[in-house]
Amino acid sequence: MNMERTWKDQLYQEFARIGKCLSSPKRLELLDLLSQGPKSVDQLAKLTGMTVANVSQHLQTLHESRLVRSHKQGNFVIYDIAELSVADFMVSLHRLSEKQLVEVQKLKSEILLNHVSMEPIGLERLLKRMERGEVVLLDVRPEDEYASGHIPGAISIPMEELEKHLASLPADKEIVAYCRGPYCLMSAQAVEILKSKGIKASRLEEGVHEWKRFVEHSSKF
């Protein structure tokens, strides 16, 4: 019995290493960003508003818990999630938090209230409409994130380049924009720009990893 107790204590101590590592809001944000594709420390510093030193420190903690990996690329150190299950975990964390914490629901509602007509289109409806050729799916993330993985059939126009490329979008189809998932606002901003130019547009709330989960779940039935 004592051996079993010791074994369980050691086991949950190891589990707690991951929990301790994820107790920082900034480390959670870093994992979300790395789930979209590999990034340098400088890129992560710009995206999070942290100093390079702080980002490096957080990445070291994540690396020690084996949630991220790194490699040298020229003069840069590039970080990535250690495996896809880390991205799956982040999707589960988002969903659980939104379900259980009214504060998350309130924050999400408040930010979307600032964007007009942001009722999202669901994945199932989107895929059916794409099959019928009724919509064009637009990925507004940076090009490197699109290259790392995107929803099949999506075209890439990064958010900062959208207004320059409006003429390349078909005028006879609805544009559905997506970005990094439910808590990314680039897609909402893209829809506002498109609508202001008279283009029919809507927002897909889900991102690449939510889409992968949806496809995997659908294939089981």
Measured distance CA(2)–CA(7) in Å, rounded = 9
| Alpha-carbon distances of 112 from 4, 118, 185, 192, rounded to whole Å | 50, 7, 8, 12
> Coil, helix or strand for 81?
strand
Amino acid identity for residue 36 in this structure: Q
Q: How far does Cα 89 stand from its chain's mean position?
A: 12
> What are the tokens at 128?
């059916």
> Coil, helix or strand for 138?
strand
Q: Given the DSSP bridges, would you call strands 174-178 and 201-203 parallel, antiparallel or unpaired?
A: parallel
Catalytic residue among 175, 177, 179, 190: 179
Half-sphere exposure in the Cβ direction for 59 (13 Å, CA): 28
Could you confirm whether 179 is annotated as catalytic? yes
> Coil, helix or strand for 40?
strand
Measured distance CA(158)–CA(139) in Å, rounded = 7
Give catalytic residues, as residue numbers. Answer: 179
